[in-house]
Structure 1
């Protein structure tokens, strides 16, 4: 796969900054106000733990985390039993928690844009690579495990 200059964490940072901008300068109807914004800790914590758990699975398997590197192992254990993309799912949960913390509706518009961008920029390429590299084993995995949940 060709090198990707902008990595998923950069996309997440851009998404988070865009969410903060929308909340600050273009808020649409506050739907969560203090102290209720503390409930943002639930998806944020879940997203962080899921991302770390999934990354640890790659590290234990000895395969690279970077989306432009060649996978050496098809990881199907841990959170990969439930989602083909638990790291991306964890990042979406982190951004969802940030949205709840901000409390207005407008930052929520960034979440579907982030998911589409990650899908088009990384997931499709990664899955094509995995199918090429692991063939029928990846196709069976893809058929039995959903992309997100």
Structure 2
């Protein structure tokens, strides 16, 4: 696929990370259907908690994307980074896009009354951490050196 053409100087991630979250949510929904998992979450809680989490998660992702674009970076982890970004939501977390995806996935699972989606969420976090974040951190350390390592000392990986 042309859109997944990797830059030679990149974290070398070969897939779109949002697909990990979507995939595990779909697996969770299938588990729900297969085993009849239906938590008794009231509609008001589903709307408030689920909807709120979706909005917060999307705000993190959007804030990170805007900062990336402003710096001239592509958000795709198979593309080269041209600038180090440490402003905006990047002052709160080193991985605002992934944190936003986790929060939004939680919200979707709650809003959909999908216990399986909540149960598979930790698996998506582990997959993103081991297959994406570790590669990105190694790449950023090699690319931006001491500036990135100093940033890591002051800003947490997640929250």
TM, length-normalised to structure 2: 0.87
Give the total of aligned pairs.
149
1:95 is aligned to 105
Matches of 1:2 and 1:147 in 2, distance apart?
A: 16
Q: Determine helix, strand or coil for the equivalent of 2:43.
A: coil
Matches of 2:19 and 2:38 in 1, distance apart?
A: 28
Q: CA RMSD in A?
A: 1.6
2:21 is aligned to 12
Contact kept in structure 2, 1:26 and 1:106, CA below 8 Å: no
Contact kept in structure 2, 1:46 and 1:90, CA below 8 Å: yes
For residue 27 of structure 1, report the CA deviation from its aligned partner. Answer: 4.0
1:30 is aligned to 39
TM, length-normalised to structure 1: 0.92
Contact kept in structure 2, 1:27 and 1:104, CA below 8 Å: no
Structure 2: segments with no counterpart, 5+ residues = 1-9
Contact kept in structure 1, 2:74 and 2:81, CA below 8 Å: yes
1:139 is aligned to 149
Matches of 2:11 and 2:133 in 1, distance apart?
A: 14
Runs of 4+ in 1 over 6 A off after TM superposition: none
Structure 1: segments with no counterpart, 5+ residues = none
